[in-house]
């Protein structure tokens, strides 16, 4: 019996393997969350400099910076993070949340992302068991975590994450892994158009922009994964999450600055995860209240 047969037949082993692997993935997601916005900012600046013919500045800012390069560093002193300092959660606890060089505090965000990634990944393994649904749902979860964190920190949902998530949802459902291909395509279309319509109606009535185009694309991606039937639940639940949790976030984090905008993407990601993973239960609840 090989390892794949063991994973299929032994739920405990599957949960352990998924837990350990997802803990490592959580560490990688931290790098993605930090680096993707920096990469995009550098790319935009380089495009502007090239447009205006500033060749010297373009050359100066052309050092390699991507998901893997250069090695992670302390933001305070520039100390390169060694392998033993990069063990998920354990290194943070061992270092007592401080840089080994300058002793500045390390954000608790890093171990929290690793722990949340692990807990939710194990939950998916328990929910779906061994198979393609588990593999697909793990990818869905990991991308949502990155989008959640980037939008919460920058108010921006990168196209280079939302678009691949959308197309992957349609490809996954080509063989009806979660829903039919028809439901997936309609979910993508209606997901985008529903928030697009709300955006333009709100702008027409108030003259203000209530959300960004990234929110349209994220809801389209969620619809592509879970089908058009889950969209009412995702929209209503994300609005509720945003109203309640967003108000708490604004009060605690922003010190009650009422004019501060609140990102909508994190609440869409939360509602979308619930709706795709527990799709049948969500649809049943919607039918009860319809």
DSSP per position, 124-172: HHHHH-SSHHHHHHHHHHHHHHHHHHHHHHHS---HHHHHHHHHHHHHH
Q: Distance from first CA to last CA of the chain, Å, rounded?
A: 49
Position 290 scores a pLDDT of: 66
Average pLDDT over residues 98-104: 80
Position 252 scores a pLDDT of: 62
Position 193 scores a pLDDT of: 94
Using alpha carbons, select from 178, 182, 268, 267 the residue that is nearest to residue 226.
Answer: 178
Indicate the pLDDT class of residue 254, thresholds 50, 70 and 90. Answer: low
**Residue that has been written with the tokens 């990601």 in this structure:** 269
Strand partners for 73 = 80
Asked whether the predicted pLDDT for residue 275 surpasses 60, the reply is yes
Position 61 scores a pLDDT of: 54
Position 141 scores a pLDDT of: 98
**pLDDT per residue as tens digits for the range 27-73:** 999 999 999 998 888 877 777 776 776 655 555 555 777 787 777 77
Average pLDDT over residues 157-176: 96
Position 100 scores a pLDDT of: 78
Cis peptide before 70 (omega within 30 of 0): yes
Asked whether the predicted pLDDT for residue 76 surpasses 80, the reply is no
Position 160 scores a pLDDT of: 94
Using alpha carbons, select from 83, 145, 76, 133 the residue that is nearest to residue 109.
Answer: 145
Contacts of 199 (CB under 8 A, 6+ apart): 209, 210, 211, 213, 216
Asked whether the predicted pLDDT for residue 253 surpasses 70, the reply is no
Phi, psi of 80 (to 5 degrees): -70, 130
User: pLDDT above 90 covers what percent of the chain?
Assistant: 52
Provide the CB-side half-sphere exposure for 96 (13 A, CA). Answer: 5
Compare 117 and 243 and report the one with higher pLDDT: 117
Q: Which of 29-38, 212-221, 235-244, 265-274 has the lowest mean pLDDT?
A: 235-244
């Amino acid at each position: 019996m090989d390892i794949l047969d063991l994973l299929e037949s032994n739920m405990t082993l599957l949960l352990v393997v998924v837990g350990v692997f997802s803990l490592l993935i959580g560490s990688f997601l931290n790098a993605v969350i930090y680096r993707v916005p920096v990469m995009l900012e550098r790319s935009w600046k380089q495009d502007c400099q090239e447009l205006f013919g500033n060749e010297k500045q373009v050359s100066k800012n052309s050092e390699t910076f991507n998901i893997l390069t250069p090695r992670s560093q302390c933001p305070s002193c520039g100390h390169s993070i060694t392998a033993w300092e990069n063990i998920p959660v354990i290194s943070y606890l061992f270092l007592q949340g401080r840089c080994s060089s300058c002793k500045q505090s390390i954000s608790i965000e890093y171990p929290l992302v690793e722990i949340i990634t692990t807990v939710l990944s194990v939950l998916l393994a328990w929910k779906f068991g061994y198979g393609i649904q588990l593999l697909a749902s793990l990818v869905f979860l990991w991308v949502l975590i990155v989008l959640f964190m980037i939008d919460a920190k920058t108010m921006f949902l990168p196209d280079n994450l939302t678009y691949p998530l959308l197309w992957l949802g349609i490809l996954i459902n080509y063989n009806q892994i979660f829903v039919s291909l028809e439901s997936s395509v309609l979910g993508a279309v209606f997901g985008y158009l529903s928030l697009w319509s709300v955006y333009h109606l709100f702008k027409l009535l108030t003259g203000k922009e209530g959300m960004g185009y990234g929110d349209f694309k994220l809801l389209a991606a969620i619809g592509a994964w879970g089908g058009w039937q889950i969209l009412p639940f995702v929209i209503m639940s994300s609005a509720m999450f945003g109203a309640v949790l967003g108000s708490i976030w604004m009060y605690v984090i922003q010190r009650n600055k009422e004019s501060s905008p609140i990102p909508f993407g994190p609440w869409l990601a939360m509602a979308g995860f619930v709706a795709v993973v527990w799709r049948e239960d969500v649809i049943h609840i919607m039918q009860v209240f319809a």
